[in-house]
């Protein structure tokens, strides 16, 4: 089994993807989570993680790696943790299984556990008891590729678990009478107003040198910013615009926060839709500029108005562009100061301003800043 897909359960802890591992830290995502950053940096290495993690102390965490026919969990809890707060790794034989086949718990001391995995298995990593994966979150909630977001835990899906089993079609839920529609895309989801994210991203020194290089200016804390930026988009510090431009790996340029509270880190081109895999394959997984990667982002939409490949987000230097890739029902974008959303002309890239709402199908995404503590 490979676990290309890891989805995030909504919550306020830290969930990160580092290489092939998923890290869940029982520390608040909002505010200082230097310990979560330190953990993420520590496991960004080749080879066995136990020797790296065992000497570390501090916040409770779970690191889960899926390889071949086994899952490896590296866990550290805290003494006297209540059962409903224990970091838990659960292995379900399929997405529709109601109860896990294996459950691993963090203990006060560091432990490394290995459990067998069959084809089609689904692994959950949570603070507290495991959800049953299917009903709680479809395999299309949030695909975390890299970086860290707020969450209560993560679900690792094998390729096999994403295939519908026989008649059990996960997409054809009954259409609810109060489902959101895109007929009059005007209001903003109240979720956005209540959503304040503080997302950990890698520091500039930790970004792989292989990432695309861009020219910009650094704040006093070393974050690379767009040439025209007066203040750091990551930490708010002043950026000296008299300083010479320098080249560096491009940082994440924003977060796309969905109306259900899940968030996607924008650091490569993305294609968003209910099943964008064919589109991604057709493009050879390549970004529009041919250099970077094109990440498929799967959204679930019960209105049926979301196309398989609906919207592409491109990165051009420091600028994000939105391109409706010929969706059946269109895409509307409302910049923060605009009264009404504007429909994107199909196939034409349109600059996307920070704070914009994007209406596609029955879903709404909002582009937000990536802010570090
Ligand atoms: Zn900064």
257 and 141 both lie in a single domain: no
What's the 314 CA to ligand 1 centre distance in angstroms?
24
Q: pLDDT class for 140, splitting at 50, 70, 90?
A: very low
pLDDT for 143 equals 58
In a domain, 170, yes or no: no
pLDDT for 278 equals 94
What's the 123 CA to ligand 1 centre distance in angstroms?
36
Does the pLDDT value for residue 196 go beyond 60? no
Does the pTM surpass 0.75? The reply is no
158 and 263 both lie in a single domain: no
- For 40, phi then psi, to 5°, come to -60, -40
What's the 372 CA to ligand 1 centre distance in angstroms?
8
Q: Which of 113, 144, 162 is the last residue of a domain?
A: 162
Between CA 72 and CA 54 the distance in angstroms is 14
137 and 37 both lie in a single domain: yes
Between CA 254 and CA 234 the distance in angstroms is 10
> 294 is in which domain, residue-wise?
253-368
17 and 143 both lie in a single domain: yes
Domain at 257, CATH number: 2.60.200.20
Q: First-to-last CA distance in the chain?
A: 36
Does the pLDDT value for residue 14 go beyond 80? yes
Q: Which of 107, 138, 162 is the last residue of a domain?
A: 162
* Residue 128 or residue 314, greater confidence: 314
What's the 277 CA to ligand 1 centre distance in angstroms?
35
In a domain, 231, yes or no: no
Instruction: Give the least confident one: 59-63, 97-101, 162-166, 260-264.
Output: 162-166
In a domain, 205, yes or no: no
Does the pLDDT value for residue 306 go beyond 60? yes
For all residues of the chain together, what is the average pLDDT? 79
pLDDT for 199 equals 41
What's the 193 CA to ligand 1 centre distance in angstroms?
25
In a domain, 329, yes or no: yes
* Residue 120 or residue 254, greater confidence: 254
Query: Two tokens at 108?
Result: 């006060």
Question: Which residues are found with C-beta within 5 Å of the ion, ligand 1?
Answer: 219, 221, 223, 232, 234-235, 237
What's the 203 CA to ligand 1 centre distance in angstroms?
10
Does the pLDDT value for residue 291 go beyond 80? no
In a domain, 11, yes or no: yes
**How many domains are contained in the chain?**
2
155 and 261 both lie in a single domain: no
Q: pLDDT class for 92, splitting at 50, 70, 90?
A: confident
In a domain, 168, yes or no: no
What's the 103 CA to ligand 1 centre distance in angstroms?
41
pLDDT above 90 coverage of the chain, percent: 31
Of the candidates 113, 316, 68, the residue with the CA atom closest to the CA atom of residue 212: 316
pLDDT for 175 equals 33
17 and 156 both lie in a single domain: yes
128 and 271 both lie in a single domain: no
pLDDT for 180 equals 42
Please check whether residue 350 is in contact with residue 372, taking contact to mean a CB–CB distance below 8 angstroms: no
Q: Which of 131, 162, 193 is the last residue of a domain?
A: 162
What's the 236 CA to ligand 1 centre distance in angstroms?
6
18 and 123 both lie in a single domain: yes
What's the 355 CA to ligand 1 centre distance in angstroms?
19
pLDDT for 359 equals 94
260 and 136 both lie in a single domain: no
What's the 204 CA to ligand 1 centre distance in angstroms?
10
Q: Whats the size of the chain, residue-wise?
A: 373
What's the 48 CA to ligand 1 centre distance in angstroms?
33
pLDDT tens string 212-256: 788 999 988 888 999 988 888 888 888 988 889 999 888 889 999
pLDDT tens string 236-245: 888 988 889 9
In a domain, 229, yes or no: no
Residue 284's H or E segment, with its range, is none
Residue 326's H or E segment, with its range, is none
In a domain, 219, yes or no: no
Q: pLDDT class for 148, splitting at 50, 70, 90?
A: confident
């Amino acid at each position: 089994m490979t676990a290309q897909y890891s989805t995030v359960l909504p919550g306020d802890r830290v969930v990160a993807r580092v290489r092939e591992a998923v890290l869940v830290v029982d520390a608040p995502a909002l505010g200082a989570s230097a310990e979560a950053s330190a953990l993420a940096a520590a496991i960004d290495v080749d080879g066995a993680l136990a020797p790296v993690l065992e000497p570390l102390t501090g916040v409770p965490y779970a690191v889960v790696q899926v390889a071949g026919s086994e899952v490896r969990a590296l866990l550290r809890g805290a003494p006297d943790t209540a059962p409903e707060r224990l970091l838990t790794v659960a292995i379900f034989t399929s997405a529709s299984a109601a109860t896990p086949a294996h459950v691993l718990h963090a203990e006060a001391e560091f432990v490394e556990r290995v459990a067998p995995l069959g084809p089609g298995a689904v692994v959950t990593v949570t603070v507290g008891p495991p959800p049953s994966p299917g009903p709680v979150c479809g395999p299309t909630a949030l695909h975390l590729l890299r970086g860290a977001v707020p969450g209560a835990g993560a679900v690792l899906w094998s390729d096999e678990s994403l295939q519908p089993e026989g008649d059990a079609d996960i997409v054809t839920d009954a259409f609810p009478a109060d489902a959101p529609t895109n007929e009059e895309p005007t209001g903003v989801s109240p979720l956005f107003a209540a959503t304040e994210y503080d997302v950990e991203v890698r520091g500039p020194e930790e970004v792989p040198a292989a990432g695309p290089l861009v020219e910009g200016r650094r704040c006093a804390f070393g974050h690379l910013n767009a040439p025209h930026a007066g203040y750091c988009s990551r930490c708010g510090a002043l950026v000296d615009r008299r300083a010479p431009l320098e080249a560096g790996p491009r940082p994440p340029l924003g977060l796309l926060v969905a109306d259900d509270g899940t968030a996607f880190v924008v650091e490569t081109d993305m294609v968003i839709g209910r099943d964008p895999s064919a589109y991604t394959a057709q493009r050879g997984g390549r970004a529009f500029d041919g250099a970077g990667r094109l990440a498929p982002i799967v959204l679930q939409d019960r209105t049926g108005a979301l196309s398989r490949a609906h919207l592409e987000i491109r990165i051009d230097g420091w600028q994000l562009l939105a391109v409706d890739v010929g969706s059946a029902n269109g895409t509307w974008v409302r910049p923060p100061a605009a009264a009404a959303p504007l429909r994107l002309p199909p196939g034409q890239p349109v600059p996307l301003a920070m704070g914009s709402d994007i209406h596609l199908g029955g879903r709404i995404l909002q582009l937000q800043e990536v802010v570090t503590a």
